[in-house]
Amino acid sequence: MGKGAVQMNIADIAKMAGVSRAAVSRYFNNGYISEEKQAAIRKVVEETGYRPSIQAQTLRTKRTKMIGVIVPKIASSSIGRIVEGMLAEFHNSDYRMILAVTQNEPQKEVDYLAAFNDKQVDGVILVATVFTAAHKRTLKSMSVPVVIVGQYLPGYCCVYHDDYHACYDLTKLMLEKGRTTLGFMSAMWQDKAAGQARYKGFCDAVCDMGREELAQNVVIADFTLDSGYEKAGEILGKCTGLDGLICATDAMAVGAMRYLREHEIAVPQKILVAGHGDSEITRMTVPSLITAHYYYEKSGILSVRRLMELLRHEEGIVEEVKLGYEIVDLNG
């Protein structure tokens, strides 16, 4: 970009493109103009490298063109795929993303929601983990639209996954493979998706298959390899004859497989292991991990689209989008 480009204004762009100043203003604010005028303005913008003043646009439109995105952590395959989807969609818009990472601390989610409120951003996308009373109070007080990803909360626009049926089908598959004594490594109960919904899917599946007693074979782990490793020893001590282990996340499952290998317990011959997420790490395990594939990237894309709809219709739209899943069993 040359120095002259910095000094240019809308009037200069209009003169060079042979259009009115109003047409240039509509072009930069996503208003309607003919394709012919769009092409003329775009050509001048590309040739000059002109960029409109963000400060001036904010004063004029009362919009910051900034979206706050709150995520629990970065070192996560699922979160990474969600954010990739968001970035792809933001790339096609004139909005920028401000990323806030909470390190899995629920109170920080509340703090960031409050910080993004009062028009610091035009809207917020919350990749949620839990909903405390403080979360609900803060969400209710928000003056900007919010889209929730990964969890369902009545009264809000949500994009989430069918965690219940995914775990139900995984559990049924394990039993159909001839496994008779299953265990479940759950996420924390406060997490309605990875914790409650997946555990309920497990419980309902074993009950529907006439194995109600297996619903008691459960331990609770953190979302880490180390926790999966540690809790594998705990569930083995708890469940005599365990021959199948379903984990709420792939990270837990891979940690559990490491424990089993180190203790010379053959996988899958003695214990078949399954996870959730279809993360890249599952492709590196030997044997391959049975897992549930969720459409994380799509959820990121749809969350941005839903937020853009909310911004266009200020009266508010409450919509829930539940995405499906696929069971991945590369072992056949």
Q: Where are the domains of the chain?
A: 3-52, 66-161+296-323, 163-294
pLDDT attached to residue 3:
41
Return d(Cα 181, Cα 213) in angstroms, integer: 9
Pick the CATH number of 66-161+296-323 from 3.40.50.2300, 3.20.20.70, 2.30.42.10, 1.10.10.10: 3.40.50.2300
Contact assessment for residue 127 and residue 72, using Cβ atoms and an 8 Å cutoff: yes
The values of phi and psi at residue 275, to 5°, are -135, -165
Give pLDDT < 70 ranges for the chain. 1-7, 29-31, 52-63, 119, 314-317, 332
Q: Phi and psi (nearest 5°) for 18?
A: 70, 35
Q: Are 108 and 102 in contact (CB under 8 A)?
A: yes
pLDDT value at residue 2? 42
Task: Supply the pLDDT for residue 7.
Answer: 64
Domain 163-294 coded CATH 3.40.50.300: no
Contacts 24+ apart (CB under 8 A), 25-30: 28/52, 28/57, 28/94, 29/57, 29/61, 30/94
- Residue 106: asked if its preceding bond is cis (omega within 30°), the reply is no
Tokens coding 130: 């839990």
Judge: domain 3-52, CATH 1.10.260.40.
yes
Task: Please tell me if the domain spanning 3-52 has the same topology as the one spanning 66-161+296-323.
Answer: no
Provide the pLDDT for residue 22. Answer: 86
Instruction: Provide the pLDDT for residue 271.
Output: 97
CA 67 – CA 51 distance, rounded (Å) = 19
> What is the pTM (predicted TM-score) of this model?
0.80
Predicted local distance difference test score (pLDDT) of residue 92: 81
